[in-house]
């Protein structure tokens, strides 16, 4: 993208935020200091923010460290249905003013927000380590992606603010402009509690919409810190609300309110389908068809061809399956391996899995931390028991450590495509490995899923890679690399089928989800 100009600055072409190298002694020391500083803030209470109005409720929500559940991260409010209705009304009332602000002004606020994240990067890293259970590297990637979203969407907003290329008829002045939608509900997940939250919220705000943010109850403190950063950057308090609490108590109220114009959601398939169904209804007084932008997970496969570099493939599968404990919608949960290299692949993978270290992520020597909560740990262990009856356990298979929600990285081989662990999203460190007759059979198995988010193929045969590009039905396909780690700008992210609406976050058309086009023709002469 070429450089663009706002009223206040020359904007260089977008580049991704570099990751902090924690192997450097000075940077590791800064991270340890940030961890100590954040730990000293444990147990604080945070308010609801309803368009600048700070509120507390009688019922509280506790956020705890999944690596040490005895540690209370923060105390939050359980918002009520009335709080939800007040937030929508406040957002609706401020929308006329916010929508009329110049796009350049709103973009400038995003650039300021990116600067705040850079200045406080170690601090946000530390919150992600403690509240979300992320390793230093995973936390760093999360914060860097949040910065990328700010920088990338600010630049694309400036593009949308200019004249659009349309045909000019003789005797007319023809133009097309993009205008914001209205009040949006932003429902981010707990697994990327900063990056995805920032991406969803800033895309809506920079295009002139007002938003109500309903964060996950597992990571509300990170959302509260984001809200503080929005205010520090200069976003008007009335432009957004932060509403913590039970999804059942306030989520349906926000989605179904007749003044809600759109819902931006990232989470499970079942919740996403419920939101889509609820948003499709048109209650009395609603003047529009609500728009739903949804990313709903995956059952992602990596195909390993007989002509692949096996060591490269094993590494790609390992990091895709067990990075952040497999708690990524893009995580590899199925490895589909050509029978000619199947046994060798399994031997190499088993040896690698057994080297992975597990423990509290504040210690950088631990590659894997905890899963997010006790309910997740229980569900994952139940799936593992099912998997033991559907295949051959070759690694892991149990919980790990006495305190915290830890699960050993688990590999189950010889899994049939009809097995539950082949078809159902587990969202944890569980990998099913299946044998394919040949490359065509491997692609068939990879596509045997209701999801279509990410996938990867390891092969040194260019013709097979070309066939995968045509026939592997996923929104994000990778060749000879892992299937996680999409980079803003380079890998627009979003999937097919039950993986969502393929809205392509971090891509050049993402902001179009939050605006509507208005065509204007003026007769002249």
Residues near 513 by beta carbon (within 8 Å), at least 6 away in sequence: 203, 262, 264, 291, 293, 503
* Residues 346-384: tens digit of each pLDDT: 999 999 999 999 999 999 999 999 999 999 999 999 999
pLDDT value at position 260? 98
pLDDT band at residue 163 using 50, 70 and 90 as cut-offs = confident
Please pick, among 17, 123, 295, 362, the residue that the annotation labels catalytic.
295
Pull the structure tokens for residue 202.
Answer: 């800033």
The average pLDDT across 279-286 equals 95
CA distances from 302 to 23, 125, 176, 188 (A): 30, 29, 43, 26
- Reference 444, options 413, 475, 422; nearest CA is 422
Catalytic annotation present for 329: yes
Residue 85 scores a pLDDT above 50: yes
Catalytic annotation present for 150: no
The average pLDDT across 479-496 equals 98
* Residues 201-246: tens digit of each pLDDT: 999 999 999 999 999 999 999 999 999 999 999 999 999 999 999 9
Residue 188 scores a pLDDT above 80: yes
pLDDT value at position 277? 97
Strands 430-436 and 399-400: unpaired
pLDDT band at residue 54 using 50, 70 and 90 as cut-offs = very high
Q: How far apart are CA 75 and CA 61, in angstroms?
A: 6
- Reference 327, options 52, 5, 66; nearest CA is 66
pLDDT value at position 514? 98
Residue 9 scores a pLDDT above 50: yes
The average pLDDT across 483-495 equals 98
pLDDT value at position 60? 98
Which domains does the chain carry?
A: 4-8+46-296+503-521 (3.40.605.10), 300-487 (3.40.309.10)
Pull the structure tokens for residue 399.
Answer: 């919980």
Please pick, among 329, 332, 362, 483, the residue that the annotation labels catalytic.
329
* Residues 501-512: tens digit of each pLDDT: 989 999 999 999
* Residues 432-443: tens digit of each pLDDT: 999 999 999 999
- DSSP H or E run through 410: strand 410-413
Pull the structure tokens for residue 188.
Answer: 């981010």
Q: Indicate the pTM of the whole model.
A: 0.97
Percent of the chain having pLDDT more than 70?
A: 98
Q: What are phi and psi of 347, to 5 degrees?
A: -60, -45
């Amino acid at each position: 993208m070429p450089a663009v100009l706002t009223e206040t600055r020359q904007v260089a072409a977008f580049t991704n935020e570099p990751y902090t190298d924690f192997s450097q002694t000075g940077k590791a020391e800064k991270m340890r200091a940030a961890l100590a500083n954040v730990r000293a803030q444990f147990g604080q209470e945070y308010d609801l923010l309803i368009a600048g109005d700070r509120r507390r409720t009688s019922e509280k929500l506790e956020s705890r460290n999944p690596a040490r559940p005895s540690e209370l991260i923060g105390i939050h409010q359980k918002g009520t249905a009335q709080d939800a209705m007040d937030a929508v009304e406040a957002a609706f009332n401020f929308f006329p003013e916010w929508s009329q602000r110049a796009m350049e002004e709103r973009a400038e606020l995003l650039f300021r927000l990116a600067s705040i994240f850079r200045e406080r990067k170690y601090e946000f890293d530390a919150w992600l380590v403690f509240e979300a259970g992320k390793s230093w590297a995973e936390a760093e990637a999360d914060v860097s992606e949040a910065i990328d979203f700010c920088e990338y969407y600010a630049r694309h907003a400036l593009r949308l603010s200019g004249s659009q290329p349309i045909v000019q008829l003789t005797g007319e002045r023809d133009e097309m402009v993009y205008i914001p939608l209205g009040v949006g509900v932003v429902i981010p997940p707990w697994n990327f509690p900063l990056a995805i939250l920032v991406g969803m919220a800033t895309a809506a705000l920079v295009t002139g919409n007002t938003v109500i943010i309903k964060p996950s109850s597992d990571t509300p403190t990170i959302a509260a810190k984001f809200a503080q950063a929005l205010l520090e950057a200069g976003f008007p308090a009335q432009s957004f609300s932060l509403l913590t609490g039970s999804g059942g108590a306030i989520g349906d109220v926000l989605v179904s309110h007749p003044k809600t114009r759109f819902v931006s959601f990232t989470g499970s398939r079942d919740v996403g389908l419920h939101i889509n169904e609820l948003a499709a209804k048109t209650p009395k007084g609603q003047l529009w068809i609500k728009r739903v932008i949804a990313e709903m997970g995956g059952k992602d496969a990596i195909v390993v061809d007989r002509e692949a570099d096996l060591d490269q493939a094993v590494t790609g599968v390992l990091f895709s399956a067990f990075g952040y404990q497999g708690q990524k919608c893009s995580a590899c949960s199925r490895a589909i391996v050509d029978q000619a290299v199947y046994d060798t692949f399994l031997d190499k993978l088993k040896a690698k899995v057994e080297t992975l270290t597990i423990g509290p992520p504040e210690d950088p020597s631990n590659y894997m931390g905890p899963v997010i909560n006790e309910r997740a740990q229980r569900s994952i262990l139940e799936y593992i028991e099912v998997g033991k009856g559907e295949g051959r356990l070759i690694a892991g298979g149990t919980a790990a450590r006495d305190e915290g929600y830890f699960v050993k990285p688990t590999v189950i081989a010889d899994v049939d495509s009809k097995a539950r662990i082949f078809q159902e999203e587990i969202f944890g460190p569980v990998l099913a490995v299946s044998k394919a007759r040949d490359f065509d059979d491997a692609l068939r198995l990879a596509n045997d899923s209701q999801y279509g988010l990410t996938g990867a193929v390891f092969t040194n045969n260019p013709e097979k890679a070309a066939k995968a590009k045509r026939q592997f039905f996923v929104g994000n396909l990778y060749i000879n690399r892992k299937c996680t780690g999409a980079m803003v700008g380079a890998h627009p992210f979003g999937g097919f089928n039950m993986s969502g609406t393929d809205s392509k976050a971090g891509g050049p058309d993402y902001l179009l989800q939050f605006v509507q086009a208005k065509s204007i023709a003026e007769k002249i002469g």
